[in-house]
């Protein structure tokens, strides 16, 4: 029972340290628990430790785990962080409070159309590909400009910022470069679309979150460093 609480304590400590070192306010950083492959008892422990934001990368798995959990913990916020197929978009909308992994114009159209009659807008992040092997994400900032215009053409989609995944490598400068290109894209989008909220920079995972924090991350997506290794 203690493992997750202890891991959380250590994570908060490291986040605090980096923020102080680079002159950032630790209060502007959100910690997401990436709970894929972990079951209810682990979610519960993370919640007890103060986690309110969870991330899942598959609609089906989230649909199995989260409706019950959310019923017991109504303040839970759940974000989709994995590749979303268009035919799963409807199911995803019933589960997730935000889709972070918006990486194709057809997906924006699908989400925009499905949310036309909603009361509450859906928050989306645009994903930029910055070198990670899977190639998920828009390839460059020009594509992000066009994606933003498309998001803005739907009344119930709201932009919250950007997301990326750094390449899985030991090369810290490569990782840093990946995060810097997300920051640079954000800066350009801010100038082009000053009316949108670009405050969320979702970048940094277990093995690279300290670099992400140094570069300006405001949302860290942490799985392994919190729950331990995944056993698929």
Of 50, 99, 40, give the one whose Cα is nearest residue 70: 40
Instruction: Give the sign of the dihedral formed by CA 44, CA 46, CA 49, CA 54.
Output: negative
For ligand PLP, the binding residues in 53-72 under the rule CB under 6 A are 57
CB atoms within 10 A of CB 158: 17
220 binds ligand PLP (CB under 6 A): no
DSSP state letters, 6-53: HHHHHHHHHHHHHHHHHT--GGG-EEEEE-TT--HHHHHHHHHTT--E
For ligand PLP, the binding residues in 146-205 under the rule CB under 6 A are 165, 205
The gap between the terminal CA atoms of the chain, to the nearest Å, is 21
Contact region with ligand PLP (CB under 6 A), list: 150-158, 171-179, 182-190, 223-231: 223-231
Q: Least separation, in Å, of the C-beta of 202 and ligand PLP? A: 8
Cβ nearer to ligand PLP, comparing 109 with 207: 207
Cβ nearer to ligand PLP, comparing 89 with 226: 226
- Using CB under 6 A, which of 10, 39, 224, 228 touches ligand PLP? 224
**Strand, coil or helix: 162:** strand
Cβ nearer to ligand PLP, comparing 153 with 224: 224
222 binds ligand PLP (CB under 6 A): yes
Tokens of 113: 């159309």
Which residues bind to ligand PLP, rule: CB under 6 A?
34, 36, 57, 81-82, 165, 205-207, 221-225
């Amino acid at each position: 029972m203690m493992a997750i609480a202890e891991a959380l304590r250590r994570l908060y400590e490291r986040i605090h340290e980096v923020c102080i070192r680079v002159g950032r306010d630790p209060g502007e950083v959100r910690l997401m628990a990436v709970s894929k492959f972990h079951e209810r008892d682990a979610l519960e422990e993370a919640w007890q430790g103060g986690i309110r934001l969870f991330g899942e990368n598959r609609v089906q798995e989230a649909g199995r785990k989260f409706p019950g959990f959310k019923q017991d913990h109504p303040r839970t916020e759940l974000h989709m962080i994995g590749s979303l197929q268009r035919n799963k978009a409807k199911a995803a909308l019933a589960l997730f409070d935000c889709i972070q992994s918006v990486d194709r114009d057809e997906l924006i159209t699908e989400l925009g159309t499905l949310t036309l009659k909603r009361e509450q807008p859906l928050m989306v992040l645009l994903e930029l590909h910055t070198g990670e092997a899977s190639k998920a994400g828009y390839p460059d900032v020009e594509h992000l400009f066009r994606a933003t215009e498309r998001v803005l053409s739907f009344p119930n989609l709201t932009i919250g910022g950007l997301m990326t995944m750094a390449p899985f490598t030991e090369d810290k400068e490569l990782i840093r470069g990946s995060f810097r290109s997300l920051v640079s894209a954000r800066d350009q989008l801010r100038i082009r679309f000053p009316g949108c909220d670009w405050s969320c920079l979702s970048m940094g995972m277990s093995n690279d979150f300290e670099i992400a924090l140094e570069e300006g991350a405001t949302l860290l997506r942490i799985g392994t460093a919190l729950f331990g290794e995944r056993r698929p």
